[in-house]
Amino acid sequence: MALLVLVRHGESTANLANVFTGWLNVALSPKGEEEARAAAEKLRGFHFDAAYSSDLLRAERTLDLIVARPAWATIPVHHVWALRERMYGDLQGLNKAETALKYGQAQIDIWRRSYAVAPPGGESLQQTQERVVKFYEAEIVPQLRAGRNILIVAHGNTLRALRMYLEQLTPKQVESLEIVTGGICVYQFDAQLKIQELRTL
C-alpha cells in the first residue's frame, strides 16, 4: 500500500506580517524554519520514493529542511509550478486586517474561503484545484499505483484543493478546512487508491 504525505510549508515572513501572499516569493520566518524541522522530526522513520514542492521559496525551503536527514539524502526532489499557492491577484502584498476594513470582513471571507469566487485579478479555489488535480493525476497517481510513497510540500490553498479532491469534500465543507503551517496529513491507499487510513501529525 502506498503513502501520500502532504505538508504545508512553515510560517513565512508574509504569514508573520499578516499579508495576502499568493505568488509572492517570500522566505520562511525563523518560526517557519523550526516548523519545517519539527515536521521532519514527526516524519522520522517514513520511507519516501520521491518528494515534490511548489517552486516558491517557502515551500522549497521547507522541503529542503525536511529531506536534510541522511536517510532521505537520495530522494529525488522536484519543484513544480502546478503546486503554487492560489494566485491572490490584486490582494497580494496587502495587509489582511487593513483590507478587511476596506472591503468588509464578509467579503474577505468569501475571497479567502469560498470554492468558486476569485479575489480581484486572482484565482478561485476551484481554478487552483483544476491545476493541482491535473498535476496529481498525471504525475502522482501512477507512482501511487506502483506502490511508491510520495511527499508533497505545498501551500494552504493548494493543499485545501487537493484534500477536497481526495476526501470528496463539498464546497461548503472545504470552507472550514484549515491547514496550519507545518501541518502534516498522511494518506494510506489500497491498490485501487481508496483511502484506507487518514491521519494528521
What positions carry a catalytic annotation?
9, 85
Q: Distance between CA 171 and CA 137 in Å, rounded?
A: 21
3-state secondary structure of 135: helix
Half-sphere exposure of 154 (CA within 13 A, CB side): 30
Q: State the cell numbers at 133.
A: 488535480
Which position has the grid cell 503554487?
84
Q: State the cell numbers at 91.
A: 490582494
3-state secondary structure of 1: coil
Question: Who's near 190: CB < 8 A, 6+ residues apart?
Answer: 1, 196
Length of the chain: 201
Q: State the cell numbers at 160.
A: 485545501
Distances (CA, A) of 25 to 17, 54, 160: 14, 11, 20
Question: What is the CA angle 99-28-31, rounded to 5?
Answer: 95
